[in-house]
């Protein structure tokens, strides 16, 4: 788990299997799009950040009631934070892309 300071607080961020599941459910090609030169849309970027924060809070057993609008407001204060979340997503993302049935 990583902690990223955003919105005036150091917050837990987690991109494990459940976060990847949520991301792929919302955007099936999202993980491939991250590697493309044009990157992802602003809406997807905000959702990536929000999911990482929600998952970090869930795993840490801390309350998290912030919204996608809150995340956008926090990025208004420091736009470089978005890159921190993408780097964390790539670093924490589960390495196995396919799981075979036994």
- Enumerate the domain spans of the chain: 2-92
pLDDT at 11: 97
| pTM recorded for the entire structure | 0.84
> pLDDT tens digit string along 30-51?
766 666 656 678 888 999 999 9
Which ranges of the chain have pLDDT less than 50?
Answer: 101
pLDDT at 57: 98
Q: According to DSSP H, which parts of 16-93 are helical?
A: 17-26, 30-34, 42-60, 68-77, 81-92
Q: How far is CA 45 from CA 34, 35, 99, in A?
A: 9, 13, 27
Tokens matching residue 99: 């799981």
User: For residue 5, what are the β-bridge partners?
Assistant: 10
Do residues 51 and 22 touch, judged by C-beta distance below 8 A? yes
pLDDT at 68: 97
């Amino acid at each position: 788990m990583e902690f990223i300071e955003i919105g005036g607080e150091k917050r837990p961020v987690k991109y494990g299997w459940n976060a990847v599941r949520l991301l792929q459910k919302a955007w099936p090609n999202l993980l491939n799009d991250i590697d493309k030169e044009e990157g992802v849309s602003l809406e997807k970027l905000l959702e990536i950040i929000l999911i990482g924060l929600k998952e970090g809070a869930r795993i840490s057993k801390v309350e998290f009631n912030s919204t996608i609008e809150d995340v956008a407001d926090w990025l208004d204060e420091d736009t470089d934070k978005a890159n921190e979340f993408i780097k964390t997503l790539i670093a924490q993302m589960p390495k196995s892309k396919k799981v075979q049935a036994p």
